[in-house]
Amino acid sequence: MADTKMASQLKHVESTKAPLHALASSGLALLHEPNQNKGTAFSRDERQALGLEGLLPHAVESLDRQVERVLSHLDTKMDDLERYIYLIGLEDRNETVFYKTIMSDPKRFIPILYDPTVADACLTFGNLYRRARGMYITRHMKGRIAEVLRNWPRKDVRFICVSTGGRILGLGDIGANGMGIPIGKLQLYTACAAVPPDCLLPVLFDIGTTNESLRADPFYLGTREPPLAEAELDELTEEFITAVQEVFPDCCVHFEDWKGTDAIRMLDRYRDRILTYNDDIQGTASVALAGIAAAMNITGGKLSEQRVLFLGAGSAGIGISKLIAAEMQTKGLTAEEARARIALFDVNGLVEASRTDLTEAQKLYAHKGPPTKDFVKFIKEFKPTVLIGVSTKAGAFNQQVVEAMSQLNERPVIFALSNPTTKAECTAEQAYTWSKGKALFAAGVQFDDVEFEGKIYRPGQANNFYIYPAIGLATYVARPKRLTDECFIVAAHATADQVGPALCAKGMLYPSQDQILETEVTTATRIVEYMFDAGLAQVERPRDIRAWIEGQLYKPHY
Ligand SMILES: NC(=O)c1ccc[n+]([C@@H]2O[C@H](COP(=O)([O-])OP(=O)(O)OC[C@H]3O[C@@H](n4cnc5c(N)ncnc54)[C@H](O)[C@@H]3O)[C@@H](O)[C@H]2O)c1
Ligand SMILES: O=C(O)C[C@H](O)C(=O)O
Ligand SMILES: [Mn+2]
């Protein structure tokens, strides 16, 4: 009925086009359904039964042959952004070939689909736009968000990854251009942890942008307004969350790349009310804790004896501080003792008690000492064993900083977590060269191996993709009521425990990416065990948790 009405309207606009209902009943529609399309892999029998005869070339191909063709196409592309555009187009045509390709070589494809290439894709989102994916919620839908969400064709949505675009990687506020991030994050749920793609929905919560040059860009695709004021944003978010619960009652809301203060406020507001987490706060904290735990296995040090200094005191810095302090408390420290082992610098210098610009979350970690903006001097006083960059300030860990850390520590732990590559606080080469090979180093992106004085050093990639897909898989199978910080602590240890002696010997702090699915299923198994033990899971406990999880994994085949 609706189809007929729409079809007649369409005819009115452009009479040469076939009415929609005619297309929907033809085999051709199947070739345009990426999650059902097999393309040249449709068998002769299927072609006959589904009205596909004559619509495909003669050859009937295997999935492996289709993947081979994709790989040969990729070889002809000039750079990773071109490969990204090609792969997104492939996902639009044939989801099975897309995931088969990505999952056959995750180490190669993660940096193409995700960080750092996704940064370029976001910056040029309006220019390279080809086809809609996911949903866009704007202030103009106020009062009707539930109605709009019902336009999504699937009802069994289990995860929404939602961004305002307010803080995309270290690129600042890029508004609706940020849509590349929820899309990419959810692709990794499937690529790294085999969560079925059908239950994933990327959402760009378009609240406007502070970015005036984007608002003036003719190709910009978002609302061309300054962002909503805090009270209005909170009201619209409340309507969105309520609507999600109504339309997709089993859905977990994954917050990603909101402006730091918004991120912290929303997590505080919703963590005890709904099934939700913030990846930049909790996922990042978990991956940082995993790297520190792995470093302790190499140095023999105890986590509760570390002193941790941050450059950057936003959603990531505060999130990591909180999880490290929680972990230290499980080792016998009081909350006050744990927080005293943590210090943060931000754009205005040391986070210390006399400052009047601190948020409630920052005040907990305010240092007692006098104000200072001298980072190197403070390193010499505070004597950190671990240095973490989450500042978006490229090059902030200069030679003086790395040398100061190396004078204080036999094996200084140095994490330059700001993304993408151009924002990292230092490069792997700088960390190893300036520390004379002493640094235990990781960054948000994967830097190449470094040769220093005849020895090869392999940097870790401290990126939350080691954690959130496993959290997603655990949530998918165990259907927990809530996600707690303990889930993220369990995930951190499960990840660190998979860095075996061979990797430790090379100074590696994270498991290898070749076997990322195996790694994340192992991590998810530990999280699920914890969810059952803690009474969070809402399904019956199976006898063999690992086998039960493996039985529910998405497999890219026809
Ligand atoms: N590797 C990962 O998995 C991962 C995860 C989350 C965030 N990050 C990266 O961390 C960075 C920060 O993210 P966030 O969510 O905390 O952002 P945020 O906006 O909440 O916080 C940024 C912080 O950096 C401080 N800062 C800005 N310029 C500075 C300067 N010149 N010197 C010192 N401090 C400065 C700000 O004052 C603020 O405290 C981003 O680049 C992001 O890509 C990486
Ligand atoms: O997206 C990433 O690569 C990690 C992180 O969530 C970030 O915001 O930088
Ligand atoms: Mn992020």
Q: Mind telling me the catalytic residues?
A: 114, 185
- What pairing do the DSSP bridges indicate for beta strands 450-452 and 386-389? unpaired
> Is residue 115 within 6 Å of ligand 2 at its C-beta?
yes
The predicted structure's pLDDT at residue 502: 87
Q: State the closest ligand 1 atom to the C-alpha of 316, by its place in the atom list counted from 1.
A: 16
To the nearest whole percent, how much of the chain has pLDDT over 90? 94
The bound ligand whose nearest atom lies closest to the alpha carbon of 122 is 2
* Helix, strand or coil, per DSSP, at residue 200: strand
464-479: average pLDDT: 98
CB-count exposure of residue 272 (10 Å: 0-12, 13-18, 19+): exposed
SS3 314: coil
Q: Which atom from ligand 1 is nearest to the alpha carbon of 313?
A: 39
Q: pLDDT band at residue 20, thresholds of 50, 70 and 90?
A: low
Per-residue DSSP letter, 19 = P
In whole angstroms, what is the distance from residue 83 CA to residue 80 CA?
Answer: 5
257 is in an annotated binding site: yes
Q: Which two tokens stand for residue 32?
A: 């345009």
Supply angle C-alpha 446, 447, 452, rounded to 5: 145
Angle at CA 116, nearest 5°, toward 406 and 128?
A: 160
Range 398-405, long-range pairs (CB < 8 A, 24+ positions): 398/426, 399/430, 399/434, 400/376, 401/375, 401/376, 401/426, 402/426, 402/430, 402/431, 402/434, 402/435, 402/439, 403/434, 403/435, 404/376, 404/379, 404/380, 405/379, 405/435, 405/439
Task: List the single range of 25-39, 203-217, 318-332 with lowest mean pLDDT.
Answer: 25-39
Kindly give the distance from the C-alpha atom of residue 267 to the centroid of ligand 3, in angstroms, as a whole number: 14
Q: How far is the CA of 448 from the centre of ligand 1 (A)?
A: 23
Ligand-binding annotation for 419, yes or no, is yes
Tell how far the Cα of 157 is from the centroid of ligand 2, in angstroms.
23
Taking the mean position of all CA atoms in its chain, how far away is CA 97? Answer: 22
pLDDT of amino acid 379: 98
- Comparing 22-36, 307-321, 407-421, 505-519, the range with the smallest average pLDDT is 22-36
**Residue 337 counted as an annotated binding residue:** no
In this prediction, residues 216-222 reach a mean pLDDT of 98
Ligand 1 is surrounded, with C-beta below 6 A, by: 167, 169-170, 260, 280, 284, 287, 311-317, 345-347, 390-393, 396, 417-419, 423, 444, 462-464
> Cα–Cα distance between 259 and 436 in angstroms, integer?
37
Helical H segments across 384-467, by residue range: 399-408, 428-434
From CA 518, how far away is CA 496, in angstroms rounded? 14
Return the closest-CA partner of residue 492 out of 263, 275, 299, 330: 330
Mean pLDDT, range 180-209, rounded to an integer: 98
Atom of ligand 2 nearest to the CA of 168: 8
- For ligand 2, is residue 468 a contact (CB within 6 Å)? no
What is the CA(279)–ligand 2 centre distance, in A?
Answer: 8
ipTM higher than threshold 0.90: yes
Q: Give 125-142 pLDDT, tens digit per residue.
A: 999 999 999 999 999 999
Q: What is the DSSP string of 338-402?
A: HHHTEEEEETTEE-BTT-SS--HHHHTT-BSS-----HHHHHHHH--SEEEE-S--TT-S-HHHH
Ligand 2 atom, smallest distance to 419 CA = 9
The whole-angstrom separation of Cα 293 and Cα 323 is 12
Q: Phi and psi dihedrals of 260, rounded to 5?
A: -50, -50
Tell whether 167 is in a known binding site.
Answer: yes
If you ran DSSP here, which 8-state letter would residue 280 be given?
Answer: I
Band (7; pLDDT cuts 50, 70, 90): very low
**Residue-level pLDDT at 505:** 85
C-beta of 119 in contact with ligand 2 (< 6 A): no
- Ligand 1 atom closest to the Cα of residue 167 is 19
User: Quick one: pLDDT at residue 36?
Assistant: 93
| Cα–ligand 2 centroid distance for 411 (angstroms) | 26
* Closest ligand relative to 462 C-alpha: 1
Pocket test for ligand 2, best of 168, 179, 183, 279 (most atoms within 8 A of CB): 279
Distance CA 460, CA 316 (A): 18
Backbone angles phi, psi at 163, to 5 degrees: -130, 150
- Cα(204) to centroid(ligand 1), Å: 21
Q: What is the reported pLDDT for 507?
A: 87
Q: Is 93 annotated as a binding residue?
A: no
Average pLDDT, the chain: 95
pLDDT band per the 50, 70, 90 thresholds, residue 506: confident
Name which residue sits closest to atom 6 of ligand 2, judged by CA.
280
Question: Which tokens go with 266?
Answer: 């929303």
Instruction: For 228-258, give the DSSP string.
Output: PPHHHHHHHHHHHHHHHHHH-TT-EEEE-S-
Position 438 scores a pLDDT of: 97
Go through the domains of the chain in sequence order and give each one's CATH number.
23-61 (no CATH), 103-274 (3.40.50.10380), 282-463 (3.40.50.720), 466-550 (3.40.50.10380)
